[in-house]
Amino acid sequence: LNLKSFLAECAEENAIVVKQDNRSWTLDAGDGLDACWIFGDPILLRRLIGNLVLNAADHSPPRGGITLGARLRGKDLSFVEIYVRDEGQGIPENRREAIYRKYDTSAASTKNVGLGLAFCKLVAERHSARLELLDSAGPGTTFALVLPVSAKPVAEENPQSPESDERSNCPTP
């Protein structure tokens, strides 16, 4: 997936929900991301981003800002951090592990059953990535999906059938 195009699609999908919740919406796709590519299931990754945006909207004050962005990370810039940041009250230190457990929720809404972040964590793990809760100075919460990035798309020069692919015996992450 081209990173910049993927972010633009996610921003477009989520802009309506954010604006309906009376929040401001910003896409922060930094410079140098045009030639970056990520590998993954676009449906699952878009749903992960959507869950993070819905959480941000639920926990942000009226007219608060929500940002979807990405930046390169690592000594050799071989990772990308796709993040969603809100201006809510933040997550207390004593809740930071519980938020990933199924059915554990602190949301006031009765429609929230506590599966969103558990799902996000599973999707991240399935993509050999990490879902991180980043520390921030002051109020607000930032969740980041950290995954490998490539400077060019992966091309299938000689596709092989699963039966002949030596990697088919590897365990699934």
Low-confidence winner among 7-16, 85-94, 154-163 (lowest mean pLDDT): 154-163
pLDDT tens for 83-134 read 999 998 877 676 667 665 665 665 555 455 556 788 899 999 999 999 999 8
57-68 exposure pattern, b = at least 16 Cβ within 10 A, e = fewer:
bbbbeeebbbbb
17: confidence class by pLDDT, cuts 50, 70, 90: confident
pLDDT higher than 60, residue 143: yes
- Any residues with CB less than 8 A from the CB of 157 and at least 6 apart, and which? none
Instruction: Select the more confidently predicted residue: 30 or 83.
Output: 83
Residue 47's pLDDT is: 95
CA gap 104, 101 in Å, rounded: 6
pLDDT tens for 34-80 read 889 999 999 999 999 999 999 888 888 888 899 999 999 888 889 99
Among the listed residues 51, 71, 76, 67, the one whose alpha carbon sits nearest the alpha carbon of residue 3: 71
pLDDT higher than 60, residue 173: no
Residue 29's pLDDT is: 86
pTM: 0.78
Residue 104's pLDDT is: 61
Low-confidence winner among 3-7, 31-35, 48-52 (lowest mean pLDDT): 31-35
